[in-house]
Homo-oligomer: A and B are copies of this chain.
Amino acid sequence: MNGPEIERLIQLLGRLPGLGPRSARRVALHLLKKRETLMQPLGTALADAARAIRACSTCGNLDTIDPCSICADPNRDQGLICVVEDVGDLWAMERGKIFRGLYHVLGGSLSALDGIGPDELNIAALVKRVAAGGIREVIVATNATVDGQTTAHYLAERLGNSDVPLTRLAHGVPVGGELDWLDDGTLATALKARRAL
């Protein structure tokens, strides 16, 4: 019904997370109305990023340079590694400006259901990084889901015979959270892990 260019655009937009066929049409129409100010710049930005961005061979972060700007930053603590499931988790940590060490991106979590085993994740490189020495602590910051916890336990096993201490993010009441809205599991963990006031 539309030209093949529009149909192809709608079809590709519909494959983005959070967009269905209807919202893809809406986005396509919006883009077609803002050809100069949005559509062409976005096309260029996509092509530029697709060409320039690569995975860091050290930590798995996405950047235009390899090693990535985090691994290459001399001001960051080279003795700390924070292990995250995904680049999105790394971005979340960086947004908070709370961590000044290095990262290691696993690329997912162990999942029997999805058939993701240790070989599908970036784990061997982490073991090698730790074995190479110079690391004072490995902070496991996988998600607090079943798969994330499984991955954390697996990492503890794999890295257990090194001398480097392994830690994980604390569980507890989220800042600003109300007890009444928390699940029992979180409350129980928070109670068990209580600290001196």
Interface segment out of the listed A7-15, A114-122, A154-162, A165-173:
A7-15
Q: Which of B15, B88, B180 contacts A38 (CB 8 A)?
A: B15
Q: Which of B19, B42, B47, B94 contacts A12 (CB 8 A)?
A: B42
Residue numbers in B under 8 Å from A41 (CB-CB): 12
Give the dominant DSSP class at A's interface.
helix
* B5 adjacent to A48 (CB under 8 Å): yes
Closest 3 CB pairs of A and B: A43-B46, A43-B47, A39-B50
A contact residues, total (Cβ < 8 Å): 50
Asked if A146 is at the interface of the complex by the 8 Å CB criterion, the answer is no
Residue numbers in B under 8 Å from A63 (CB-CB): 2-3
* A44 adjacent to B47 (CB under 8 Å): yes
Residue numbers in B under 8 Å from A3 (CB-CB): 52-53, 63-65, 69
Asked if A179 is at the interface of the complex by the 8 Å CB criterion, the answer is no
Task: Name the distance in Å between A126's Cβ and chain B's nearest Cβ.
Answer: 19
Q: Which of B35, B53, B88, B95 contacts A26 (CB 8 A)?
A: B88
